Structures are given as C-alpha cells and as structure tokens.
Structure 1
Amino acid sequence: MKTIRFVWEHWFYLLLALGAMAAWQLSLMPEAIADPITMERVFLIDFALLLPVIYFLYLRSRTTLKAALLRSFAIGAAGVAYAAWLMPEGAGDILPFLAWLRWTALPLVIFIELAAFVAVMRYVWSSDPQEEELIRQGMPPILVKLLIAEARFWKRVFRFVTGRRD
C-alpha cells in the first residue's frame, strides 16, 4: 500500500525515467539515425515543451507559482541538453544552434546547485534539524529522511575520529 501511495504521489519522476529511456532507445534506432531532423523535432516537442508543462502541472499543487515556473524552466533546459546529447554530432536544425547555451548556462546551474546543496547541508548539520521544515520547502520526504540520516552518520564519524563527545 505504501508503494502505491508513493508512486501515486511522485508519478512525474517515474514518467521522467520512462521518457528518458524511451528517448535514448529512439536515438539508437536506424530510422532515427537516418532522419535526424524528425528525431530532433520529436525530442524538442517532448523535452522542451511537454516535459516542462507536465512538470509544472505536477508541481503546481506542491509549490508556489514562482518555484513551479522556475523548476519547469530548469527541467526544460535540462531536457534540451539531454536531447542535444542524444542527437548525432552536428545533426539537426535547432539543437546545434542552441549548443552555446549549454556552456553558458552550465556554470550558472553548477553555482545554483552548489548554493542549494550548501544551504541544505548547513540546515541538516545544525543542532536540531526539523524534517517538516525541509518537506514544507518542497523536498521529497524520502530525500529529507536520507539527508538527515546521512548527516547524523557523518556527525558520529566526525565525533569518533576527533574524540569529541559533545
């Protein structure tokens, strides 16, 4: 029963994994390799249009409008990068034109992810992290539990290695 409830609450991530695997399989088909323009259009419709819209609909009831829009835009950009990775080198009309965006946006994405990671780690490593606070911020409950459990583990290891008992 818990498994069904978990899948029901997080259906988008299952759909995302299936879509990514299907796109990868499509990119390996001889028909797709023979006609890269059609493959590019399919990838752009799937990853630049449908994926962000579906993700926005999934997030809309869970987060604020601003957060849902930002996350949907980010997953659309990641989808375009994935589509460009799946395409044969230099094939297509639009994706080669957008290749410069990947290298421009990459440092920005890394900085944002690093800042978010540091903020979460500071909170999790604090004296008394509250699971409910992170869940209210939009993190999946299973991820919150794993982060807090890992932080507690590393705190204990650090205390054991340094000899602290506080």
Structure 2
Amino acid sequence: MRTIIITLLIASLSSILLGQEHLNNIKKHGMEIQWYFDQDTIQFTMAAPTNGWVTIGFNETNSITGAYLLMGRVRQNIAEVVEHFTLSPGNYKPINSLDDHILVNNVSGVESNNTTTISFSVEVSSACKYQKELSVGKSYWMIIAYSLEDDFQHHSIMRTSVHITL
C-alpha cells in the first residue's frame, strides 16, 4: 500500500510540475487508476495489490465484449503494456495481431511489496477499429481488473467497471 501511495504521489506532483492541472483518480476494489491529458496523449498510472497483470479497458457499454483493453505487467523487472481487443468474454486478442498501429508509449512500472504499479501514455486518437478514441470529455465504461499471474490469459481475481468521463 505504501508503494501505491508513493507512486501516485510522485505521479501527482509530476503532473502539477508539468502543468497538468486536472488529474483524475478512481479507486475501486483495491485498484487505483490516475490519468491526465498532455497534448495529444493521455497518461495513465494504474496500481493494484498483486504481482500479476493489471488492466484498464474502455467500452461504450457496460460489457467486456468490444472493449479496448490496456493490459500491463512487470516480468523480470521489465514493464510492458499490450493493447487488446475483446471479441467475447475470455476471447481477447492483442491488437498488433489484428492491426499494426500501436498507441501505447512511455511504459514504466514496478512490482514491490505485492503491488504492481504501471504508468504509460496512449495517443488519444484511435488508429483502427479495435481502439477507442480517448479524448477529453468522452464517456466510457472503464473496466478495471487484475490477476495473481503475469500471463495475460490467466483469469482475473478482480474485475469490475465504472462509468467515467475522460
């Protein structure tokens, strides 16, 4: 928990120092997500009480089908975030296997004290039909989930959703 607080505090201070005045924050079922806009990108930080994967997703409806997922993990001290598209519950594919334009950049993360914290940026304009436009004022159901394992095919231990406006 201490790691989550320190990481989110650093992200908050960094955003203020960089002129990002509107920092959004959601906490639900042990997971915390923060985001802010920086020109043509949106910067996310997600943290959860696990050493497995952490995920946020976006959909127009409160359904996993058709969702744009941003699945992150730290393996061997290397953080990665992979974009996925959900075809049906339990059937999600990496977007790079469906289309070649990836929107995720600037990935960093750490696992410490049974907490995974990952930060990354995403271009706000979608490049293909599998991605969502993440611009200011857009409303989505945000899917939040985490797992005990790093394998993206491993089932989540927690998954829920919350209606948000970016």
TM-score by length of 1: 0.24
Larger helix proportion, structure 1 or 2? 1
Give the structure with higher Rg (CA): 1
Name the structure, 1 or 2, with higher relative contact order (CA <8 Å, separation 6+): 2
Larger strand proportion, structure 1 or 2? 2
TM-score by length of 2: 0.24
